[in-house]
């Protein structure tokens, strides 16, 4: 009797997932991610002043978040196997909200480091889920949406940067804005609870794919390693802009509202470029997309080396956003086509290497700025673009 009942229960079809609802939720993750990053990009100048930090100290503290995120990305397959993507998303959103509260409460550099360690766990978990679940959605529906999803991140960053700049200009403290970010994370968490995720694309639940080393094994494939390195280089300009663009503009004399608007423009250009990159890549291929990206970043880097003026630096960062925007979604989609059925491991491999750049770039920029000038440290933008051009010529056209 009991066995037959069990058989009947197990034979019932699982509740159907709804592609439109799922893609809306996944876009919500990217937008939330963008709003948080965009607002923080404007707030770093305020936090640096409030905590009386030097450029080198701020850059060193920013090591904490990506270090933790890399661990989550490399172990993402194991975490997904253990708890599933939905539970990992819920935990990641909760931790992300707590990190904003911890950042608001930080009163010194060690409090800042602690908050950024918590943020790294939240960002890593949500980054892992939103990219791998999007690849699952693409596999299940046969539709390519990765560029559009990353455009959602950039659109969110525009909103976050403009909102933070406007609220600061209206007299809000940076701690108030951080509490608002925590509220948004909890709101997205509540929307996640009733939503059914898309079916996993292939072997993400298999023991080999779930191993913490699965992502590293993929990097032994030359084509995957090449794409991962290009992804890393694409993050250089983005990392510099996220952490240092507003600080640099403030050093040039921009007020808080202009600094926020300039950072929003950077992210707005990323939004536009990601929408354009999808049809560009579909028609002309991966190599052409990456070559255009590299060329834009080279020009932007050259402009940042010219005598510093607010309008010129603003234009340079906008062009940088246009260039770096398509790199990560392009290499993610290209890598997923090389090893179909391993979305978790592919996401972990590409994003862990990309996050290595987030580990190195902020502190290195701060140290060089402290030893020389912040403008001298921005040389990394042009160099990364030149490297993208060099490596992109070795990528297959499709």
Alpha helices in 203-342 (DSSP H): 207-210, 214-218, 222-251, 256-284, 286-304, 310-324, 327-338
Q: How far is CA 205 from the centre of its chain?
A: 24
Residues in the chain: 398
> Which residues, including other chains, have CB under 8 Å from residue 283's CB and lie 6 or more apart?
none
Instruction: Read off the pLDDT band of 230 (50, 70, 90).
Output: very high
Q: Residue 383 and residue 322: Cα distance in Å, rounded? A: 16
* pLDDT tens-digit readout, 43-64: 998 999 999 998 888 888 888 8
Q: Residue 383 and residue 398: Cα distance in Å, rounded? A: 25
Instruction: Read off the pLDDT band of 3 (50, 70, 90).
Output: very low
Using CA atoms of 380, 237, 333, 85 in order, give the dihedral in degrees to the nearest 10: 110
Contact, 271 vs 349, CB < 8 A? no
pLDDT at 200: 76
Higher per-residue confidence, 141 vs 207: 141
pLDDT at 178: 97
With pLDDT > 70 as the criterion, what percentage of the chain qualifies?
A: 90
pLDDT at 343: 66
Q: Residue 236 and residue 378: Cα distance in Å, rounded? A: 10
Looking at residues 326-350, what average pLDDT do you find? Answer: 81
Predicted confidence (pLDDT) at residue 386 exceeds the cutoff of 90? yes
Residue with tokens 């951080």: 178
Q: Residue 214 and residue 208: Cα distance in Å, rounded? A: 7
Q: Residue 111 and residue 299: Cα distance in Å, rounded? A: 38
Residue with tokens 């965009």: 38
Q: Residue 105 and residue 112: Cα distance in Å, rounded? A: 9
Q: How far is CA 177 from the centre of its chain?
A: 20
pLDDT at 212: 52
Q: How far is CA 78 from the centre of its chain?
A: 21
Residue with tokens 């890593």: 124
- Residue by residue, DSSP assigns 114-173 as HHHHHHHHHHHHHHHHHHHHHHHHHHHH----HHHHHHHHHHHHHHHHHHHHHHHHTT--
pLDDT at 344: 67
> Quick count: other Cβ atoms within 10 Å of Cβ 207?
11
pLDDT at 25: 94
Predicted confidence (pLDDT) at residue 171 exceeds the cutoff of 70? yes
Between helix 109-141 and helix 64-74 the angle, nearest 10°, is 30
Predicted confidence (pLDDT) at residue 14 exceeds the cutoff of 90? no
Q: Residue 136 and residue 347: Cα distance in Å, rounded? A: 11
Q: Residue 230 and residue 219: Cα distance in Å, rounded? A: 13
Which tokens is 12 given? 């019932």
| Per-residue three-class SS string for 28-45 | HHHHHHHHHHHHHHHHHH
Q: Residue 94 and residue 221: Cα distance in Å, rounded? A: 35
Which tokens is 331 given? 């290499």
Expressed in angstroms, the distance from the first to the final Cα of the chain is 57
pLDDT at 173: 95
Using CA atoms of 283, 319, 351, 240 in order, give the dihedral in degrees to the nearest 10: 170
Contact, 240 vs 336, CB < 8 A? no
Query: Hey, is 375 helix, strand or coil?
Result: helix
pLDDT at 77: 66
What is the pTM for the complete model shown? 0.76
Predicted confidence (pLDDT) at residue 13 exceeds the cutoff of 70? no
* pLDDT tens-digit readout, 131-151: 888 888 888 888 878 878 888
> Which residues, including other chains, have CB under 8 Å from residue 100's CB and lie 6 or more apart?
36, 119, 178, 179, 181, 182, 185
Q: Residue 334 and residue 165: Cα distance in Å, rounded? A: 36
Looking at residues 216-232, what average pLDDT do you find? Answer: 88
Instruction: Read off the pLDDT band of 396 (50, 70, 90).
Output: low
């Amino acid at each position: 009797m009991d066995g037959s009942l069990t058989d009947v229960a197990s034979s019932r079809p699982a509740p159907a997932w709804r592609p439109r609802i799922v893609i809306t939720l996944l876009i919500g993750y990217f937008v939330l991610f963008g709003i948080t990053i965009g607002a923080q990009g404007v707030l770093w100048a305020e936090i640096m002043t409030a905590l009386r930090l030097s450029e080198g100290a701020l850059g060193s503290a920013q090591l904490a978040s990506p270090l933790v995120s890399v661990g989550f990305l490399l172990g993402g397959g194991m975490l997904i196997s253990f708890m599933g993507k939905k539970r990992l998303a819920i935990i990641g959103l909760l931790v992300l909200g707590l990190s904003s509260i911890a950042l608001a409460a930080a009163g010194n550099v060690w409090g800042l480091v602690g908050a950024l360690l918590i943020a790294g766990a939240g960002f890593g978990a949500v980054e892992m889920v939103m990219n791998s679940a999007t690849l699952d959605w693409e596999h299940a529906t046969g539709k390519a949406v990765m560029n559009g999803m990353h455009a959602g991140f950039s659109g969110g960053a525009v909103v976050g940067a403009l909102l933070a700049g406007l609220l600061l200009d209206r007299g809000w403290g940076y701690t108030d804005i951080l509490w608002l970010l925590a509220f948004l994370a909890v709101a997205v968490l509540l929307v996640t609870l009733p939503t059914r995720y898309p079916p996993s694309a292939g072997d993400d639940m298999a023991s080999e794919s779930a191993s913490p080393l699965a992502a590293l094994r993929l990097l032994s494939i030359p084509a995957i390693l090449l794409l991962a390195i290009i992804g890393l280089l694409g993050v250089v300009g983005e990392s510099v802009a996220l952490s240092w663009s507003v600080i640099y503009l403030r050093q040039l004399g921009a007020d808080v509202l202009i600094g926020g608007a300039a950072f929003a423009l950077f992210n707005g250009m990323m939004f536009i470029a990601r929408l354009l990159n999808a049809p560009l890549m579909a028609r002309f291929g991966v190599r052409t997309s990456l070559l255009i990206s590299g060329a834009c970043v080279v020009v932007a880097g050259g402009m940042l080396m010219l005598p510093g003026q607010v309008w010129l630096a603003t234009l340079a960062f906008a062009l940088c956003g246009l260039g770096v925007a398509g790199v990560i979604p392009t290499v993610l989609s290209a890598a997923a086509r090389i090893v179909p059925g391993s979305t978790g491991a592919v996401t972990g491999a590409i994003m862990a290497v990309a996050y290595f750049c987030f580990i190195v770039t902020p502190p290195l920029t701060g140290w060089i700025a402290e030893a020389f000038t912040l403008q001298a440290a921005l040389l990394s933008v042009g160099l990364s673009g030149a490297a993208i051009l060099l490596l992109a010529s070795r990528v297959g056209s499709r």
